[in-house]
Chain A
Amino acid sequence: MTRRDVPPHGLPPPGSSAPGNDELDQDAELSDEERALSEELDALAAALPRDTALPAFDDEALHRRAMARMLAHENLTELEPEPPADELERQAAAALASRLHEDEWVAALRHAHAPTALRELGHAALLRGTLAAWRPARTRLWAGAVSGLAAAAALLLWVTFDGPPAQPTAADTGSWSVSRSTEPLVTGPLAVVGTSQRLDRIADARQHDYRDNRFRRWSGR
């Protein structure tokens, strides 16, 4: 690297991933005076704790260089010069600027830094709602007692319930009408024209038997 390649203020060139290392390489080409200054800056950077404010430098270039050394000790690379913004980034930046007060991230930073007080009216309403919904332990005791009584009553009903009607016994079934086939009643050919009063009577008799058995089953007869 020649002197002409060294960026102003000792800052690393754009795109350099390790500004501290590049900058240390440049020390070989510095004059004695610059080397002495460089050593002082190194000592300062090593001595400065990370969260100590930097002393105010009159020379901006010196300030930036000291900052570069200190950040190099912290393995940080954010000191690279900013690359120019493309159109897309400009649009995004303008959009953010126009809705800065509505941005969720910005609001979170502000609340983290200086949280605001709870609104008095909102809290009063919240408290009213909370207290109104509160059932103290004593009230809960009464509610529990009432629930317990209801459960006991339900249990009693369940225990004393007879269940569905009993099925017919063998004695009952002895008096039931027996299912009979109509086959023996129809020996000859059936008339194909008109209606048969005999078949109607047979059907009526079977319906009567069926209804009779149903009523017996339901203990209605």
Chain B
Amino acid sequence: MPDWHATNFLPRAGSLGVACRPVPPAPHVQPTADPASVALERDRVRRAQAGDRQALGELLRQHGPALYRSLLLPRLGSAAAAEDALSETYTKVLRSLGSFEWRDEVGFYPWFRTIGLRVVLDQFRRRKKQLVWSDDDVTRELDREAQAHTERLDDAIIQERDAAVVREKLEQALLGLHPRYAEAIRRRILAEEPRESVAAALGVSPATFDVVLHRALAALKKKLSP
């Protein structure tokens, strides 16, 4: 697992290969949260705890899609499962909102994210199927989350880091594969290049490329299996 830092939260460069779809640049955000947005969010949380439905809707509308994209979907690997997990997260948030204690140095999103992680862990245990991410990975994330927060990070940084750790695990597994297999997966699966053009780039017929890709995916699955 990479050693993350607040100002260096992306995986190391050079690991993605030339044929991979370009990774979007890191958002230009401050490492620590903006005081004005902290005050706004604190007000929303206070109103939501007092029963203001609109404030609660604003909170969930602000953080829900980000949680889905950065945490739930990369870990669960399926849009349907991630939407279910988001719904379950919302339900748990409503149930425990009264007991949430606001702290300026933590904010709302880390608490919301922890609930999301627990929902992911529950889903892994229920369905007993793990793809790229495993329940051990989630447990490690929860353990790290339990450590004391010394400085509040901007939510965008936390979200980018959450997405990057899964991508990094995939990249590490690809690096352990036969280069030809890794290239087949990068171009055909990750970059979604047409089958014929990838086959031509690898110097094989499309039918042979199917076999290469089949073997490549099997090898990757083996690499990623816990």
Contacts and interface: CB of A to CB of B under 8 A. Distances in A.
Interface of A: 50-53, 67, 74, 76, 78-79, 82, 85, 89-90, 92-94, 96-97, 100, 104-118, 122-123, 126-127, 129-131, 133-134, 136-139
Q: SS class of chain B's interface: helix, strand, loop or mixed?
A: helix
B29 interface: no
Given A89-B211, A118-B68, A130 B91 contact: yes
Contacts of A67: 179
A97 B132 contact: no
Contact of A110 (B69, B189, B210, B219): B189
Nearest to A98: B210
Interface in B13-35: 14-15, 17, 21, 23
25 contacts: A67-B179, A79-B179, A89-B211, A94-B207, A96-B214, A97-B210, A104-B131, A107-B78, A108-B131, A109-B131, A110-B189, A110-B192, A112-B131, A114-B21, A115-B73, A115-B74, A116-B79, A127-B61, A129-B87, A130-B60, A130-B90, A130-B91, A133-B94, A134-B53, A134-B94
A137 B60 CA distance: 18
B226 interface: no
Interface residues of B, number: 67
B78 A122 contact: no
B210 A94 contact: yes
Contacts of B106: none
A45 to B, nearest CB: 14
A168 B164 CA distance: 84
A112 B192 CA distance: 14
Given A117-B65, A118-B69, A138-B51, A106 B189 contact: yes
Contacts of A113: 21, 167, 170, 190
A15 B167 CA distance: 33
A109 B189 contact: yes
B12 A74 contact: no
Contact of B51 (A51, A97, A133, A137): A137
B166 A112 contact: yes
A106 B77 CA distance: 9
A104 B211 contact: no
Nearest to B212: A82
B77 A111 contact: yes
Interface string B184-199: 0100111010010000
B10 interface: no
A18 to B, nearest CB: 15
B138 interface: no
B70 A115 contact: yes
